[in-house]
Structure 1
């Protein structure tokens, strides 16, 4: 049952997030209300993925490597920074196209480095694949990247870095609450 919920969650997540790219006319009919639908479906997808991941039996696919924990944590910090940078329009947004999707890809790869089980492969590999396809679909619809020329406010840059560090701490402690040791 765990794997089924996990896969269903990935499908709901992917479908709701790709709705605008794959069926633009359908998404346009809902106007601003479509954002609410995507938000609700996203919440449902997260619940399904978390429950599916927790309930899936442990099936080892490759040996786990605790020696990669420090690299994992560094990638997590960068991943959270890219999320913050996207919303705050920091320097990263002038260098990296799709910083949030880059953040998802780094997050997924970081978790695949330290988890060698089937549920992790499905969850993190599935979300990595979703991010890759999302980038391809977006770039298909918007092939020209118009970089911002607006000056970057140093306060926003500092805020993104501080926010990323704090979020790594909070998420790390949530992992500990679930019985996982994210710092080695």
Structure 2
């Protein structure tokens, strides 16, 4: 559990530094991006190793139908992430599509994992994403919506999301997790 917590602290600290200590981040200059990128990667590695290495402590037993809700939410999460890069129509309605994707991903995983490590990991990342939205909105209250884009970008986002969901599910199968139900 300590590795998961350390990973969350490193991840959150690296991402929040710009908002919570802008002067310190500015003093780091461009080299600071590499340092914070390395801290982020170390955080992710700690979270993965901690999650895979911890003894399972079940808090509840999610019903089987939650798998289907999880898979639908995962498709939505990957779509939102793709839409943020392509600036599709949804990005004119949702200010933070990438962070909304992370929140959707975290909630989806909380629905199907009732163990303590999952609550800590996915709940921690959900809290980070919520906090990020709050900090960004506070620092930049005005939102300029993206201009409309061609429908082809929407199609690319949907197709990309479907492909990535398939790949992620195959990786989960390879790791011994059965996301298909």
Query: Which one of the candidate residues 153, 157, 163 is aligned to 1:156?
Result: 153
Deviation at 1:157, TM superposition (A): 1.4
TM-score, normalised to structure 1, is: 0.95
> Match for residue 142 of structure 2?
144
Quick one: distance in 2 between partners of 1:36 and 1:92? 31
**Equivalent residue runs for 1:41-120 within 5 Å:** 41-120=39-118
1:180 paired with 2:174, answer no
Deviation at 1:7, TM superposition (A): 0.6
Provide runs of 4+ in structure 1 moved above 4 Å: none
> Match for residue 132 of structure 1?
130
Deviation at 1:38, TM superposition (A): 2.3
Quick one: distance in 2 between partners of 1:64 and 1:28? 45
TM-score, normalised to structure 2, is: 0.96
> Match for residue 167 of structure 2?
170
Quick one: distance in 2 between partners of 1:64 and 1:72? 11
Quick one: distance in 1 between partners of 2:36 and 2:149? 31
Which blocks of at least 5 consecutive residues in structure 2 are unaligned?
A: none
Q: Give CA deviations for 1:95-126 in whole Å, capped at 9, x if unaligned.
A: 10100100000000000000000000000000
Query: Which one of the candidate residues 19, 25, 28 is aligned to 2:26?
Result: 28
SS of the equivalent of 2:65 reads helix
Deviation at 1:158, TM superposition (A): 1.2
Quick one: distance in 1 between partners of 2:51 and 2:170? 18
Quick one: distance in 1 between partners of 2:150 and 2:29? 33
SS of the equivalent of 2:50 reads helix
